[in-house]
């Protein structure tokens, strides 16, 4: 980071090294969150101050591997908290927490630096959420619509299509809203990050995307701060390009885990279920920076791992309290071949009210939910006795619900190269019209195959 080259006077030396935690003896105490540096041969180390122990000692977290650190090494003050170079040329790049390239390309031209600990936009400059951000994905737009400038949680395990859905969100923002995306890989496996990067290049999404990775094998300090580093780029793109920015974080639970690891290393007393006592404020610090301003909007999609499927877990509760929409991906849906594997009865959005959506959208969405819920109730009876034992009314509901379930599947642009099926984007108006027709019974003569993996039903009527 060239901006630090002018700082030459050491402020102290390393007194102790405990894994990724170092105790530094200082002549003058640096402020909390200050970035400090040390070097040996050509190796550079950066630290972030987390605690003042006494009048001469601070405890800091290293943001690099600790191999090579030793007592007595001189430590220098960078003169600022951790900051990253920002430029419009950052789109299409793969970066680390310091804004350095991971894709083998040239370093970003440092026209400007931004502090990753910047406060949220001023209250007077912030714009409230409320509008629907259409994605072109039928089940999302109909039953759990995204909030422009809001936060959506994507709850799902491995192998249920979470990454594909994320890529499709990015494609939708780029094509429908001429927006850009910022992807924060928090604690990603190197293999996963490599595959995702190549898949996004093949899907044509990468030119309008910036990816920042803090990998699983890196210091907990990196995994803890990579979200703020990526969010800094999202804010920059919002303020300079004045566009719709989609901020994707995978996985925010690993951010909480990294904070818990740091808290233990710093010697803090654990709180509920072993989490750090600062859990609520750490999550809020990240979440409260995700907002819309007069110049543009940052809309967040955050993958959330749920430990032991316990939605009352303190970490999940802390994250959930900030969300506007929750999309639950179900392994049972994926097992039936329903993709995207969204569980419509568990997913929700705070926009799901008649005042916000309007009478038509709300009525159609409730009708679809009622049919799917009734089908869920009758599944056991059908399995034991057969559908013939149901009343004529229930039989009609079940047949329509099964067709609606298959209608809400959709081929994605992100998977077109693998499936050979061209991806489709369906306007909300078409989705509402099709669902109204299903609920009226006008499509009762169609087979379930006719409804599966297509866009609008207009294609079938042509």
Helices of type H across 129-215: 138-143, 162-176, 190-202
Question: Of the listed 37, 59, 151, 188, which one is catalytic?
Answer: 188
Active site residue 188: yes
Helix crossing, 392-407 with 359-385: angle to 10°?
A: 110
Q: Half-sphere exposure (CA, 13 Å, Cβ side) for 293?
A: 21
C-alpha pair distances (Å), 214 with each of 18, 96, 310, 373, 395: 21, 6, 26, 41, 52
Question: What does residue 260 show for φ and ψ, rounded to 5 degrees?
Answer: -65, -40
Instruction: Tell me the C-alpha distance between 401 and 444, whole Å.
Output: 11
Q: Is the dihedral of CA 63, 69, 71, 77 positive or negative?
A: negative
Active site residue 403: no
CA triple 211-213-217, angle to 5 deg: 160
Helices of type H across 97-155: 138-143
Question: Of the listed 162, 223, 289, 406, which one is catalytic?
Answer: 162
Active site residue 191: no
Cα 291 versus chain centre, distance: 14
- The β-bridge relationship of strands 94-95 and 74-81 is unpaired
Question: Of the listed 189, 294, 336, 458, which one is catalytic?
Answer: 189
Question: What does residue 422 show for φ and ψ, rounded to 5 degrees?
Answer: -65, 135
> Known catalytic residues?
162, 188-189
């Amino acid at each position: 980071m060239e901006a630090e080259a002018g700082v030459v006077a050491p402020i102290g030396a390393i007194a102790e090294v405990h894994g990724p935690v170092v105790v530094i003896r200082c002549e003058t105490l640096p402020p909390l969150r200050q970035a400090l540096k040390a070097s040996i041969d050509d190796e550079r180390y950066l630290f972030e101050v987390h605690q003042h122990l006494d009048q001469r000692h601070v405890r800091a977290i290293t943001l690099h591997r600790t191999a090579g650190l030793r007592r007595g090494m001189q430590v220098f003050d960078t003169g600022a908290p951790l900051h990253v170079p920002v430029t419009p040329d950052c789109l299409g790049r793969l970066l680390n927490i310091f804004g350095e390239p991971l894709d083998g390309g040239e370093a970003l031209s440092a026209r400007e630096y931004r502090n990753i600990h910047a406060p949220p936009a001023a209250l007077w400059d912030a714009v409230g959420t409320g509008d629907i951000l259409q994605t072109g994905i039928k089940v999302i737009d109909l039953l759990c619509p995204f909030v422009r400038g809001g936060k959506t949680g994507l709850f799902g395990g491995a192998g249920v299509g979470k990454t594909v859905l994320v890529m499709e969100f990015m494609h939708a923002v780029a094509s429908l809203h001429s927006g850009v995306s910022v992807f924060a890989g928090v604690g990603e496996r190197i293999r996963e990050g490599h595959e995702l990067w190549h898949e996004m290049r093949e899907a044509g999404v990468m030119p309008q995307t910036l990816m920042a990775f803090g990998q699983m094998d890196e210091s907990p300090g990196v995994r803890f701060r990579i979200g703020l580093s990526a969010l800094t780029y999202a804010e920059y793109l919002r303020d300079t390009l004045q566009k719709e920015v989609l901020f994707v974080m995978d996985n925010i639970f690993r951010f909480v885990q990294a904070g818990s690891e740091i808290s233990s290393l710093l010697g803090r007393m654990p709180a509920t279920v072993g989490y750090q006592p600062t859990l609520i404020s750490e999550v809020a610090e990240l979440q409260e920076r995700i907002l819309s301003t007069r110049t543009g909007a940052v809309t967040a999609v955050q993958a959330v791992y749920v430990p032991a499927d316990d939605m009352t877990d303190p970490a999940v509760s802390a994250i959930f309290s900030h969300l506007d929409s929750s999309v639950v991906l179900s392994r049972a849906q994926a097992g039936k071949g329903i993709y995207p594997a969204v569980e419509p009865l568990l997913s929700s959005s705070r926009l799901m009210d008649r005042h916000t959506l309007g009478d038509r959208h709300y009525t159609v969405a409730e009708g679809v939910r009622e049919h799917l819920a009734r089908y869920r109730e009758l599944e056991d009876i059908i399995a034991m006795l057969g559908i013939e034992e149901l009343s004529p009314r229930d039989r009609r509901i079940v047949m329509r619900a099964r067709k609606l379930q298959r209608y809400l599947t959709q081929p994605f642009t992100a998977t077109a190269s693998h499936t050979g099926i061209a991806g489709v984007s369906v306007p909300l108006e078409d989705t509402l019209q099709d669902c109204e027709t299903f609920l009226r019974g006008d499509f009762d003569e169609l087979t379930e195959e006719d409804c599966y993996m297509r866009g609008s039903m207009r294609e079938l009527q042509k």
